[in-house]
Amino acid sequence: MSGNIAIELGPARFRNPVFLASGPAGYGTEYEELIDLERIGGVVTKTITLEPRAGNPGRRLWETQGGLLNSVGLENVGAERFFKDKLPALEDKGIGVIVSLAAEGWDDYEGLLGAADDSSAAAVEINLSCPNVERGGMAVGTDPELVARYVELARKRLPDRAIIAKLTPNVTDIVSLARSAEKAGADAVTAINTVLGMDLEGEDSRPVFRRVSAGLSGPAILPVALDAVWRITRSVDLPVFGVGGISSVDDAIKFFAAGAFAIQIGTAVFYDHTLPERIVEAFEQRGLPARN
């Protein structure tokens, strides 16, 4: 069976539901010699903040059994340069784009949304895993009220764009976050972001990272992500982008069977850059898997 597998999300249109996840693929163009980016649905850019960020000092990546710990710290060129140079470069090549945005404080967030509003971005993914300075450094996305507040402002400032809320799994109930995003006007949610973890090294068993904790991605978190997608899709009416641990065509099929609207591939592109296109080809030949 074959057919059209294009998807729509608000005003945004994409060739298919297979995306590169925010982070590993950088700004997208870094992979254009390895992946036919016009063949997949699109790229979720690395997270953009209002001002440029140098990221965290010291070690940033650490391989584990079945996964990858990262403590990059949202290194990026900032909104002005991204919307002036990076986004047009992607769009000029016909690449589908979802822009990932994050801010630690309310003023920065308003400025960031203003920059997005002045741009051509058709879809944005709000990364809600940043620490919020008004709440003592607690991640925005762990509080349903803050999730609602951030999504509401995005909906108000970007009324004609697709708004996607990226949810953290580091909570007791991720469904409550999805419900808050839905009530606040999100067009979709992404589940999940990285899972908190750490590792130790050396004879004195010292923490690998200066910040001690880091974000775990890769095959190890696949069951956590599948569980989140399954529960969210049975609790809210929003489309869900499933992400977390996809390393094969079969993994991608599982997400759609669990109820996902689309998928994002992250860590796997470091060691298998052919995977996104192979998933697209499989879906074109077989059609999208039916939800269980």
Distance CA 22, CA 53 (A): 16
Q: What's the token pair of residue 95?
A: 């690449």
Distance CA 24, CA 46 (A): 8
- Report CA torsion sign: 127, 194, 143, 54: negative
Q: Are 194 and 215 in contact (CB under 8 A)?
A: yes
Residue 180: what are its φ and ψ, rounded to 5°? Answer: -65, -45
Q: Please confirm, yes or no, whether 101 is among the known catalytic residues.
A: no
Distance CA 141, CA 161 (A): 21
Cross-strand partners of 101: 48, 126
Alpha helices for 14-162 (secondary structure H): 79-81, 87-92, 106-117, 144-157
Comparing CA positions, the residue from 214, 246, 245 lying closest to residue 69 is 214
Question: Which stretch of DSSP H or E encloses residue 190?
Answer: strand 188-191
Q: Which of 113, 130, 208, 236 is catalytic?
A: 130
Active site residues: 130
